Structure 1
Amino acid sequence: MIQISENQIITIVTPSYNQGEFIDRTLNSILSQEGSFYLDFIVMDGGSKDNSVNRIKFYSDLFENAEIIGNYLDLSFRKLSGNTSYATKCLGISYRWYSEKDNGQTHAINKGWKLAKGSIIAWLNSDDIYMPSAIQKASDALKEPGNYGLYGVGLHIDKEDKFLEFYPIESFSKERLIEYCIICQPTVFLKSEVLSKIGFLNESLGYCMDYEYWLRISKESTFIFLPEILACTRIHENTKTSQNLNVHREIVQMQKEVVGKTSDHWLFYYSYYFIKSQFPNIKHSLILSLLFRFYFFYLKYFSR
C-alpha cells in the first residue's frame, strides 16, 4: 500500500445546488483528469431537490468497490480500471460528498476547503467544466515557489457546451485587477497555504466572493498567468453573474472595503444598470445615456 504525501494531492471542491442538468458534465471533467497527482475530490451539495444527489452518489458508488491504491491520513485513494469511460487517469481519487443545507455557495466552498488535504486547492462550480489535463498543467506551473496561485485562459460556453466567447483574460497586474476582474474563476488553482496566510472566502458575499479573494491575495502575492485554456464557465439563465445590478452593487461596495476605492469601470456599469432599473420605461438610448452618465459623475465625485 502506497503512503501518499501531501504535495502529491490536489483538492477540488464542487459546490452544488439543483444543477442536475449540468452536474454530470462537471463531475466527468474532474474525475477524468489525467496526470501524476492524487485527486482529493469533495462535493458539497446544499440539499438539492432535483436529480443532483442521485448523480453525485452514482460516482461515489463507482469508487466504493474500486481498488485502493494508497492512503493519506484518513483518506483512501482508489483507482477505477478496465475498459470503461470512467477509468481513472490520474494516480488515484478520494471521492467525498455531502448533501445538507448550507448558507449558500460561498459557505459550501469554505466548508469543503476546511476538509481539504491537498497542497493545491481549487473549486469548480457544478455547471462549469475543466479542460483535459487542466489540473496537471496547473500543478506543474505551481511548483515554482513564491506565488500563492495561478489562473489560465477561460471560455464561456452555453447550455449545450457550445463556445460563446473567451473570458477577457490579461496577464497579471495588481492595478488592472483592481480596475477589472482579469481572472477567470474556474481556471484558478491555489497553494493550500493561502488559507492560513489570507484566510477563507468572505461568506457575506454572494456574487463577487472570488474577485474579492483575488484582491486580498494580490495584496500579499502575485498570480502566475498560464496561457493555456484550463476551464469553461457556463452561461445560462440561472447563472448568478447574469444578475447585473446585484453583481455590480456588491462589487462597488466590496472594492470600497478591500482596496479603499471603486474603479471607474465598475462604477460606470453599476450606474448604467441602476438607471435602467429605475427607469425601465425609458427606451430612448440618448436619454438613458445622459441619465446614467450624470449618475456616474455624481457617484465618482460626490458620493465617495
Structure 2
Amino acid sequence: MSNMHPLRISVIIPSFNHAKYLRLALASALDQVGEFDLEVLVIDGGSNDGTVDLLQSFGTRVRWVSEPDGGQSDALNKGFRLATGDVLGWLNSDDLYQPGALAVVANAFRSFPRVEWVHGRTDVIDPIGHVCRRWVSAYKRWLCQRYSYPRLLTENFIQPNTVFWRRELLSRVGDVDRTLHLAMDYDLWLRFARSTAPLYLDAPIACFRWYPTSKSGSRYVRQFREARAIARRYEPDWRWAIRIGAIKAGFAIGCYKVADLLGRSSPPA
C-alpha cells in the first residue's frame, strides 16, 4: 500500500438489542490507532433498547443502519456491501478489540502483500469483562499455531472477531451463508481456506464475551452440530476428518457443560 493510499480497514458490527455492550464494542474499535484509515459500520436489526440513541451519540465517527433484517448473517452481508475498506472484518456487538489490535493487522497486510486473510489471539471474558475460560483460549492458540486445512476441517478454532481479509477474497468465495445462524463464521473460514491459507498473528487481537444468554453460551450444542454439518458439506469424502470432528465436538460439548455447571455453582466475581 503506497503512502498516497493508506490501508483502509472496515469493521462491521452486527447488533440487535445489544445497547448494553455495544458502547464498549464501539469504543474498543474507535480507540484503535495506527497507520490505517478506519471505517466502523453498525448494522442494527431494528433495536428498541436505546441502540439508535447510542449510535446517534457517536456522530460521524460511526456509520449505521437500523432496520429489520434476516438475522446476523444477513446483517453481515449488508455491512460488507456498504463497506469501503481494502480490508474487512467483523466484531460482534458484545465483544471487544484489544488495544493495538488493528495496528498489528494493518502491519501484517502491508508486510505480506500476498496474504489474503489473517487471524489472531482471543481472550474469553465474562459479562463484566474479567478474563475467564483461559483453557479455551490456550487450546485455540495452540491449534492456531499449528494451522492446516485438514485440522480446521475437524473443528473451528478461528475466532471471528480476530479475522480480517482483503475485499477481493470475499468477492471470490461469496457472501456469508444467510441460511446459517450459528456457525456462519466456520462456513466462511472453510471457503477462505479452500482458496488460500491464512496468516496467524500471535498477538492479542480481541476479547470474546461468554455469558449464558449469548448465542454461543445458550446454543453451543446446536452450534457444534451445525459446524459438523458444514464440514460434511464441503468434504464428504474426508471421512477420517469428519469422524475426528464428531469426536472433538462431543468432547467439547461435555467440557462446556461441565464449565457451565461449575460456573453456576461458583460465587459471583
Q: Same fold (TM over 0.5)?
A: yes
2:13 matched to which residue of 1? 14
Bigger shift: 249-258 or 110-119? 249-258
2:171 corresponds, among 192, 196, 216, to 196
Aligned residues: 240
Partner SS, residue 25 of structure 2: helix
1:148 matched to which residue of 2? 116
Letter in 2 for 1:120: V
The gaps in structure 2 that reach 5 residues or longer are: 255-269
Q: Deviations over 1:18-38 (max 9, x none)?
A: 111111110000111111211
The answer to whether the 8 Å contact 1:35/1:136 transfers is yes
2:180 matched to which residue of 1? 205
Partner Cα distance (1:272, 1:173) in 2: 21
1:267 aligns with 2:246: yes
Bigger shift: 207-216 or 172-181? 172-181
Question: Does the C-alpha gap of structure 1 residues 178 and 273 become closer, same or farther in structure 2, counting only changes over 3 Å?
Answer: closer
1:101 aligns with 2:68: yes
Give how far 1:247 is off. Answer: 1.0
Partner SS, residue 206 of structure 1: coil
2:93 matched to which residue of 1? 126
Partner Cα distance (1:142, 1:59) in 2: 28
1:134-283 to structure 2, matched below 5 A, reads: 134-143=101-110, 144-164=112-132, 165=134, 167=137, 168-169=140-141, 170-171=144-145, 172-242=147-217, 243-260=219-236, 261=238, 263-268=242-247
Letter in 2 for 1:122: G
1:19-98 to structure 2, matched below 5 A, reads: 19-60=18-59, 63=60, 95-98=62-65
Give how far 1:273 is off. Answer: 9.6
Give how far 1:186 is off. Answer: 0.5
Equivalent pairs: percent with the same residue? 30
The answer to whether the 8 Å contact 1:248/1:266 transfers is no
Relative to its length, the structure with more helix (as a share) is 2
Q: Deviations over 1:154-196 (max 9, x none)?
A: 0100111000125212222112111121211101111111122
Partner Cα distance (1:274, 1:146) in 2: 37
Question: Does the C-alpha gap of structure 1 residues 192 and 271 become closer, same or farther in structure 2, counting only changes over 3 Å?
Answer: same
The answer to whether the 8 Å contact 2:87/2:165 transfers is yes
Partner SS, residue 219 of structure 1: helix
Partner SS, residue 122 of structure 1: strand
Partner Cα distance (1:190, 1:274) in 2: 30
Partner SS, residue 227 of structure 1: strand
Partner Cα distance (1:240, 1:254) in 2: 18
Bigger shift: 224-233 or 7-16? 7-16
Partner Cα distance (2:249, 2:167) in 1: 34
Give how far 1:130 is off. Answer: 0.2
Normalised to the residue count of structure 2, the TM-score between the two structures is 0.83
The answer to whether the 8 Å contact 2:118/2:163 transfers is yes
Partner Cα distance (2:253, 2:124) in 1: 25
Question: Whose RCO is larger (CA < 8 A, sep 6+)?
Answer: 2
Question: Does the C-alpha gap of structure 1 residues 178 and 274 become closer, same or farther in structure 2, counting only changes over 3 Å?
Answer: closer
Letter in 2 for 1:195: L
The answer to whether the 8 Å contact 1:212/1:254 transfers is yes
Partner Cα distance (1:56, 1:263) in 2: 43
The gaps in structure 1 that reach 5 residues or longer are: 64-93, 276-304
Partner Cα distance (2:152, 2:235) in 1: 11
Point out the structure with max Rg over C-alpha: 1
Relative to its length, the structure with more strand (as a share) is 1
Say what the alpha-carbon RMSD is for the aligned residues: 2.2
Partner Cα distance (2:52, 2:43) in 1: 10
